[in-house]
Amino acid sequence: MFRKFLCLSVLFSALLLTFSTPTFASGDEEDKTSFIMHHIKDSYEWHFTTLGHTHVTLPLPVILYSSDRGLEFFMSSDFQDHETHRFGEAHGQGVYYIDAHEHLHRADGGSFVDLSITKNVAMLFLVVIVMGFLVISASSHYKKNGVKAPKGVASFLEPIVIFVRDEIAYKSIGPKYKKFVPYLLTLFFFIWIGNLMGLLPGAANLTGNIAVTATLAVLTFIIVNVNGNKEYWKHVFMTPGVPVPLLLVIVPVEIIGLFTKPFALMVRLFVAITAGHIVILAFIALVFIFESYAIGVVSTLMVTFLNVIELLVATIQAYVFTLFTAMYIGGAVAEHEHH
Amino acid sequence: MDLIIPSSGLIFWQLIGFLALLFILVKFAWKPILSALEERETSIENALKAAEQAKAEMANLKAENEKLLQEARIERDNILKTANDAAAKMIEDAKQAAATEGAKMIESAKGVIENEKKAALTEVKNQVAQLTLEVTEKLLRKNLATDAAQKALVDDMVKDINLN
């Protein structure tokens, strides 16, 4: 076990060396850790690595809409210096430019909508494609073979599907669970695959982006409240068994509670994944800060260990998000016999 | 780009991407998978139930067979017992009849023997009486052949009368 772990560490450190060292070998203290936040945040271009002075990047489309200028398409490379790959006001296109902190501005101060395919959007498409391929190829087995025992991808997917259906959906929602299983499955697999793919070197931090977690939380919020039955709303606005004067306090609390639930979902996933990435990258950054072989060995071991932990976290967070969604749905559709 | 302020573009694409994924997967993947799983579960359950039923039926059949066998055994035993009883009774009856017949025969034989014996005794008695009479006649004739003897007898008789 320990030998395997060491081998893994060595392999991983070799990978890190090829990818990262030239990027951060030179520069001031700020530069040595700035890559952490750069990785965590979204970006208009997909930067993989820098070898010497060559930036290996994938330019991504910048799509902008404004009522006066209409829909406009650019490439992220249009907005940056071709040598340094830095964004700046000097490389504006029309009225738009991207500043050094990767904020898109409009020079004349007009309003616009930014629909760019950023790094995270590209990652999102990748996750959607991988997941769609995985699940559809598994489903084709069932179409071909009917009720026969699963094989290949289907046998990998099936226990997870059954787990989500029986352990998450049925246990949390109760007898009306069937309607919600497809949503919960999609949610679980999207978050899980997103988390796992986010751990790959060079990948984007998709599920650790607050826009992504917020969207998922809002979808859950909508599904929970659209399916809320009479009991659920009665519990919110006329909490049973509470004296009338107290309702003045309880009802606002209940209403706030409607929103804190998805808010907690949003923050939990965002924080868990982002923090994991930051910790791993911080250990990598130690190598460039101390520039010592001893630290290199230690932090490589730590990074390998943390990566293994992150595999666990990726699964746990997908499970937790799905489980809480199922529990909120369960609370909204439950029939209470006694009150 | 900011860390904690959600960007509109990503929200837009996330919504589209996720909803498209949801729609496609629900239609083409999750429903077939879930219905196949359910179908398999019900078929397994049915198969198990059928097996259980077959087992129960088998046990039933076996019990019935056993019962039939048991009944047949009892029947056989009964028949054997009746036959034995009948045979024993017949032998008993035959013995009884033989004994009775024998007794009767002995009885009648005894009667005949008695009769014969009586007849024989009567014959013997008659014979003896005849003989006695003859002997007595002969003796009397001899004793009273002379007058003196006759006179002596009469005297003797008279003497007896006087005494009385």
What confidence tens digit (pLDDT) does each residue in A49-80 have?
Answer: 878 778 888 889 999 998 888 888 888 888 88
Q: What is the ipTM of this complex?
A: 0.86
pLDDT of A50 reads 79
Distance from CA of A294 to the nearest CA of B (A): 33
Compute φ and ψ for A259, nearest 5 degrees.
-90, -30
CB pairs under 8 A between A and B: 130
The DSSP secondary structure of A284-303, one letter per residue, reads HHHHHHH--HHHHHHHHHHH
pLDDT of B160 reads 83
* B25 with A216: Cβ contact below 8 A: no
Helix, strand or coil, per DSSP, at residue A151: coil
What pLDDT, in 10s, does the model give residues A130-140? 999 999 999 98
pLDDT of A339 reads 46
Number of residues assigned to chain A: 339
Residue with structure tokens 């943390």?
A306
The rounded distance, in Å, linking the Cα atoms of A204 and A197 is 8
What pLDDT, in 10s, does the model give residues B92-139? 999 999 999 999 999 999 999 999 999 999 999 999 999 999 999 998
The answer on pLDDT for A11 being more than 80 is no
Task: Write out the two tokens for B156.
Answer: 């003797």
Is B55 domain-assigned?
A: yes
Is B157 domain-assigned?
A: yes
Q: Name the pLDDT band for A5 (thresholds 50, 70, 90).
A: confident
Is B115 domain-assigned?
A: yes
Of B7, B22, B36, the CB nearest to A42: B7
pLDDT of B79 reads 96
* B7 with A211: Cβ contact below 8 A: yes
Is B75 domain-assigned?
A: yes
The answer on pLDDT for A247 being more than 90 is no
What pLDDT, in 10s, does the model give residues A138-154? 998 888 887 788 888 88
Contacts of A267 in chain B (CB under 8 A): none
What pLDDT, in 10s, does the model give residues B23-58? 999 999 999 899 989 988 999 999 999 999 999 999
Helix, strand or coil, per DSSP, at residue A229: coil
What pLDDT, in 10s, does the model give residues A277-300? 999 999 989 888 888 888 889 999
The rounded distance, in Å, linking the Cα atoms of A18 and A12 is 10
Average pLDDT, chain A: 87
The answer on pLDDT for B159 being more than 80 is yes
pLDDT of A26 reads 47
The CA distances from residue A22 to A45, A199, A293, A295, in Å, are: 19, 21, 16, 18
Is B111 domain-assigned?
A: yes
Is B144 domain-assigned?
A: yes
Contacts of A216 in chain B (CB under 8 A): 14, 18
The answer on pLDDT for A200 being more than 50 is yes
Q: Name the pLDDT band for A266 (thresholds 50, 70, 90).
A: very high
Q: Name the pLDDT band for A25 (thresholds 50, 70, 90).
A: very low
Counting other chains too, the contacts that A232-239 makes at CB distance below 8 Å and 24 or more residues apart are A232/A331, A232/A332, A232/A333, A232/A334
What part of A 219-278 touches B (C-beta under 8 Å)?
A: 219, 274
pLDDT of A22 reads 45
For chain A, where are the alpha helices, taking DSSP H only?
A: 2-24, 29-40, 119-145, 153-162, 171-173, 181-198, 210-226, 230-237, 244-290, 293-333
Distance from CA of B67 to the nearest CA of A (A): 42
For chain B, where are the alpha helices, taking DSSP H only?
A: 8-25, 31-143, 147-163
Of B3, B6, B22, the CB nearest to A186: B22
* A186 with B25: Cβ contact below 8 A: yes
The CA distances from residue A4 to A11, A101, B90, in Å, are: 11, 41, 98
What part of A 14-73 touches B (C-beta under 8 Å)?
A: 37, 40-44, 63
Task: Write out the two tokens for A141.
Answer: 């087995």
- Whole domain around residue B36: which residue ranges? 14-163
Task: Write out the two tokens for A21.
Answer: 């060292």
Q: Percent of chain B at pLDDT above 90?
A: 73
- Look up residue A227 and give its amino acid: N
Is B4 domain-assigned?
A: no
Is B5 domain-assigned?
A: no
Q: Determine the average pLDDT of the residues in B81-94.
A: 95
The rounded distance, in Å, linking the Cα atoms of A269 and A323 is 13
Structural domain count of chain B: 1
The rounded distance, in Å, linking the Cα atoms of A320 and A315 is 9
The rounded distance, in Å, linking the Cα atoms of A181 and A169 is 6
